Structure 1
Amino acid sequence: MPTRDPFTVLADPTRRQILDLLRGRDFMVSELVEQIRTAQPNVSKHLKVLGEAGLVEARVDGPRRHYALAPEPLRELDHWLEPYRRMWASRLDALEAHLDDMSDDQGD
């Protein structure tokens, strides 16, 4: 059960960058440190927060930990965002229709 609010957790750009990286494959902390170019304790801190929000999962392989994206909380965020996407889609459709009308009027 997640203990942190995903919206609050995702407000941090470094955490979003970590999730973007994990979209492609699993990473070890050392690989994330290399990609993000920050200190290992900082990456570990961000991974802990992401884990508390249920956004990442760790798999232990001997002395190594592999981190992977946990998609379920993101599905919940996506579900929450859906009405806003529909609202923007309808507004963009209306703008497109208005621009089409303007170009038709200029062609006369």
Structure 2
Amino acid sequence: MFRPFLLCCGLLVSLTAAANPIELHHYQAKQLVAAGQILSLETTLAGLRELCPGELLDARLYSEDDRWRYDLQFALQHGQIIRLSLDASTGHPQTDIPQECDLDETATR
């Protein structure tokens, strides 16, 4: 009776852990960049700033379902703070670029 209970608990913990994104450390990110699995944050930001100029406040790298993503927090020129998720392998946004970025683009012309 007790053994099946432990087995179920272990399976539940494994499934829960697999479903949650895992945040990677700086040294792990450097290894992934060196191996060509992801773009560096610097390269990713260079492409992103063409779409959405602003100041980087926070950046985190996550692994989820064998995919890498950067979660970024930006302060736009007019003071608004936005969050973006980018595919760390390609640098492409995983969702639409917020409309607030368009406001920054027209304000700087």
Q: TM-score range by the shorter chain?
A: under 0.3
Structure that is richer in strand per residue? 2
Instruction: Report the TM-score when normalising by structure 2.
Output: 0.24
Structure that is richer in helix per residue? 1
Instruction: Report the TM-score when normalising by structure 1.
Output: 0.24
Structure number, greater radius of gyration: 1
Larger relative contact order (CA 8 Å, sep ≥ 6): 1
